[in-house]
């Protein structure tokens, strides 16, 4: 029951060494090397650790394995051709975007979600609908729109827990109703 004294000493020694490493990348390389050398039953670590390249790169005069990083695949998003962003008798998406004049891409995401929900009454807003809004109003789309929407969520403006049902938070409503367009600084 409990750890043996030699395990406690090993944990302390490892902790002392890791405190001396300056960056998370250095710690990751050392952990990856140690796991590849000593292994173990922890499959969670095995699946999340980067692959080890056979080449050794010197770091601060010491040789450590160079970790391979996995390449992210780019998500391809298509426009929703059935989404009408110029509804008759209502403000168009382009007019709404001009009127609100968001100053950054996160604000643009909130403008898009607000328009889709409150002006055209879309019940479930997803990344494709926001992408379609961006394209329709001729805004450049961020490289990772889903991540940008999540950033707007981190700011408290959106609820992005379900990317197929993005919701506007009360702070997002306040941004649209009271803060946009931004007032010129005097």
The pLDDT value recorded for residue 181 is: 94
The HSE-up count of residue 180 (CA atoms within 13 Å, CB side) is 24
The pLDDT value recorded for residue 142 is: 94
Q: Do 157 and 99 share a structural domain? A: yes
Chain segment 16-52, per-residue pLDDT in tens: 887 887 787 777 777 777 767 776 554 344 444 444 4
Q: Do 164 and 109 share a structural domain? A: yes
Residue 78 included in any domain: no
Residue 24 included in any domain: yes
Residue 105 included in any domain: yes
Average of per-residue pLDDT values in the chain: 82
Q: Cα 12 to chain center, whole Å?
A: 35
Q: How many CB atoms lie within 10 A of CB 168?
A: 20
Exposed, middle or buried by CB within 10 Å (0-12, 13-18, 19+), for 71?
Answer: exposed
pLDDT (mean) for 2-27: 77
Q: Do 118 and 173 share a structural domain? A: yes
The HSE-up count of residue 65 (CA atoms within 13 Å, CB side) is 20
Q: Do 104 and 47 share a structural domain? A: no
**Distance (Å, whole) CA 31 – CA 34:** 5
Chain segment 50-84, per-residue pLDDT in tens: 444 444 455 555 555 555 566 555 667 889 999 99
Chain segment 93-133, per-residue pLDDT in tens: 999 999 999 999 999 999 999 999 999 999 999 999 999 99
Q: Do 175 and 99 share a structural domain? A: yes
Q: Do 165 and 116 share a structural domain? A: yes
Q: Do 168 and 106 share a structural domain? A: yes
Q: How many CB atoms lie within 10 A of CB 89?
A: 4
Domain count, the chain: 2
Query: Do residues 125 and 113 touch, judged by C-beta distance below 8 A?
Result: yes
Q: Do 105 and 61 share a structural domain? A: no
Q: Domain of 37? A: 5-67
**Distance (Å, whole) CA 124 – CA 164:** 7
The pLDDT value recorded for residue 173 is: 96
Residue 77 included in any domain: no
Exposed, middle or buried by CB within 10 Å (0-12, 13-18, 19+), for 19?
Answer: exposed
Task: Give the pTM.
Answer: 0.61
The pLDDT value recorded for residue 4 is: 62
Residue 81 included in any domain: no
Q: Do 147 and 107 share a structural domain? A: yes
91's tokens: 């403000």
Residue 75 included in any domain: no
Residue of higher predicted confidence among 178 and 22: 178
Q: Do 160 and 119 share a structural domain? A: yes
pLDDT (mean) for 143-165: 95
Q: Do 97 and 150 share a structural domain? A: yes
The pLDDT value recorded for residue 69 is: 60
Q: Do 114 and 49 share a structural domain? A: no
Residue 136 included in any domain: yes
Q: Any idea what the CATH number is for the domain that residue 167 is in?
A: 1.10.10
């Amino acid at each position: 029951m409990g750890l043996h004294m030699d395990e406690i000493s090993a944990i302390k020694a490892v902790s002392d060494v890791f405190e001396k490493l300056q960056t998370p990348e250095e710690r990751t390389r050392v952990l990856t090397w140690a796991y590849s050398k000593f292994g173990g039953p922890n499959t969670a670590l095995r699946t999340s650790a980067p692959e080890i390249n056979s080449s050794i790169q010197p770091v601060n005069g010491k040789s450590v394995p160079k970790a391979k990083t996995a390449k992210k695949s780019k998500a391809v998003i298509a426009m929703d051709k059935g989404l009408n962003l110029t509804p008759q008798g209502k403000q168009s998406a382009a007019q709404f975007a001009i009127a609100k004049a968001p100053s950054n891409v996160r604000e643009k995401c909130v403008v898009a979600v607000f328009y889709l929900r409150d002006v055209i009454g879309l019940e479930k807003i997803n990344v494709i609908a926001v992408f379609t809004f961006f394209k329709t109003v001729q805004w450049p789309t961020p490289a990772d729109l889903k991540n940008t929407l999540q950033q707007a969520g981190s700011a408290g403006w959106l609820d992005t827990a379900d990317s197929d049902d993005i919701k506007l938070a009360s702070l997002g409503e306040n941004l649209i109703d009271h803060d946009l367009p931004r007032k010129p600084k005097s």
